[in-house]
Structure 1
Amino acid sequence: MDANIYQHFRSDERPFIDLVGDWMEQVSMQYAPYLTDFLDPRQAYILETLVRQESDLSFTFFGGYEAAERKRCLIFPDYYTAAQDDFEITMFEIVYPVKFITLSHGKVLGTLVGTGMKRELFGDIISDGERWQIFVAKEVASYLQLQIIKMGNVSVRLEESSYTQMLVPKDGWSFEKETVSSLRLDTVISAVFNISRQRSKQLIESGKIKVNWTEILRPDFMLDLLDIVSIRGFGRIQLQGIEGKTKKEKIRLNLGVLRK
């Protein structure tokens, strides 16, 4: 990977940049498509930036449905035509006794991760408030179906469903604009949720903040385009656009915000 590429991204993103470089080289050498695991929006942005620099390679994303947050990417030679089946995604409905248990995103994800599978093998978890569906990599679908028989103390089962049976997600995201003095993690959290910088620092340092599903303990961590911030007890933020600066040198942001 060209060393000049690194300067456009965070230093902790270098291993992922190198991985994308390996995938691209594999496609170029073998003249065959490469399918990634599920990527978060920031990873998808990095991959897209890198692949676009290679004129003989193409790519497309799919996460099981059009508005998916986590998606697999197919990188392929420009002569190849991608199909939906190439993404090898299985959709499960979680069948459970609705009267006796209340499921949550955290409980479902915790159960999935508890099987020993890495997070990258799971896509979105969606719900309409009662029904729950999950998208997983096809290669682990049978294993998960055998392993997941309980959530908490209640028996459940995973039932494979077709995309025609996909529910309409109950989506509480709102699109907001905010002006901040910097892209520091504590600054953005303070502005969006209208709390003091001291309070946001406490949340970060006590391990209640994740950026792109990774715990961050530094209040001065600098956010970047398409990062997703999860704040336990408050909700989530996605940095969807950086519009430039005001006359007073403040930064204008376009955000997706999910408030609890």
Structure 2
Amino acid sequence: MAYSSDKPAAAVRGFVPPQNDEERRLMRRVEELCRVAQARGIPRYTGFLSDREQVLAEASCHRAAFAAFRFWGGYPEAERRILCLEPPQTWQEEPVAFLKMTAQGDDLPGHRDYLGAILGLGLDRACVGDILQDPQSAGVFYAAVLADKQELIAAELTSAGRSPVRAEPCASLPDTLARGPERTLQEATVSSLRADAVLAAMMHTSRGRAADYIAAGRVEINHLPLQAPHAAVYARDIFTVRGVGRYRLMEIGGKSRKDRVFISFFQY
């Protein structure tokens, strides 16, 4: 990426405190898990957390002065991940297990069908991590699940959408999935780092159209509703546009000779 001026120091988004009772409960729960892990010297694990929940969980660990934590979703590029609280010199569990789910027929289930079918077994969303399609077979999906729920789901999951399904435990993801998806890094220039300008560039649409999505309440940044088109954005922000897709703003560069800002991003 060519710049006509020096690259500025990267600004980062500050911590956004909990916005509702559910988020506050999550933070209190994580702090309590930290205290238990520290006092008893035993590992503790949450369920699978979204990006936003991971931010809150990490803040809770810092608040509890507990440094021996990590996030793990079964493979390096996982989006939904478990908070692992593991005091030094203690035994560690493997909290994540995998299922291979195979469907047959003309109307094959997709991600939403599999998620709905698993939750329909009476399980909470925190029991399920990423659900990934095998790129070599449209009828095969893999799911990361809590290790103690693997056998239950394998035994009880018999259909998804309109298709019969065979679910079976597997030791790991295929290498093609474990490496994570190949995403094409795209580049653009924007007139400013306003949300509507950046979103328009990522969606390859007009600024007015992007503002309409925001006004309609269809846009989130880091899993929080975007309230105004003029809101500032930062590197690593994740944009979710309901009905369209998700984008990550990877890098904010310098300015062009026409005083436009270089950005790089990819679409999930």
Considering the TM-score relative to the shorter chain, is it more than 0.5? yes
Deviation at 1:102, TM superposition (A): 2.7
Deviation at 1:38, TM superposition (A): 1.4
Q: For the structure 1 residues 47 and 104, does the alpha-carbon distance in structure 2 shift closer, same or farther, using more than 3 Å as the test?
A: same
1:160-175 maps to which residues of 2 (within 5 A)?
160-163=169-172, 166=174, 168-169=176-177, 171-175=181-185
Deviation at 1:46, TM superposition (A): 5.0
Instruction: Return the match for 1:150 from 152, 155, 159.
Output: 159
Number of aligned positions between the proteins: 244
Deviation at 1:93, TM superposition (A): 0.8
- Secondary structure at the counterpart of residue 247 of structure 2: strand
Instruction: Return the match for 2:118 from 102, 112, 127.
Output: 112
1:89 aligned residue = 96
Residue 33 of structure 2 aligns with an amino acid whose one-letter code is W
1:159 aligned residue = 168
- Answering whether residue 111 of structure 2 is matched by residue 102 of structure 1, we say no
Residue 229 of structure 1 aligns with an amino acid whose one-letter code is F
Paired with 1:252 and 1:22, the residues of 2 have a C-alpha distance of: 43
Please say which structure displays the higher CA radius of gyration: 2
- Structure with larger RCO (C-alpha < 8 A, sep 6+): 2
Paired with 2:122 and 2:216, the residues of 1 have a C-alpha distance of: 26
1:82-104 deviation per Cα after TM superposition (whole angstroms, max 9, x unaligned): 4xxx132221111211x423332
Q: For the structure 1 residues 233 and 100, does the alpha-carbon distance in structure 2 shift closer, same or farther, using more than 3 Å as the test?
A: same
Q: For the structure 1 residues 106 and 197, does the alpha-carbon distance in structure 2 shift closer, same or farther, using more than 3 Å as the test?
A: farther
- Secondary structure at the counterpart of residue 15 of structure 2: coil
Question: Normalized against structure 1, the TM-score is what?
Answer: 0.73
CA-based RMSD: 3.5
Question: Normalized against structure 2, the TM-score is what?
Answer: 0.72
Instruction: Return the match for 2:127 from 121, 124, 146.
Output: 121
Paired with 2:125 and 2:108, the residues of 1 have a C-alpha distance of: 23
- Answering whether residue 247 of structure 2 is matched by residue 237 of structure 1, we say yes
1:4 aligned residue = none
Structure 1: runs of 5+ lacking an equivalent: 1-6
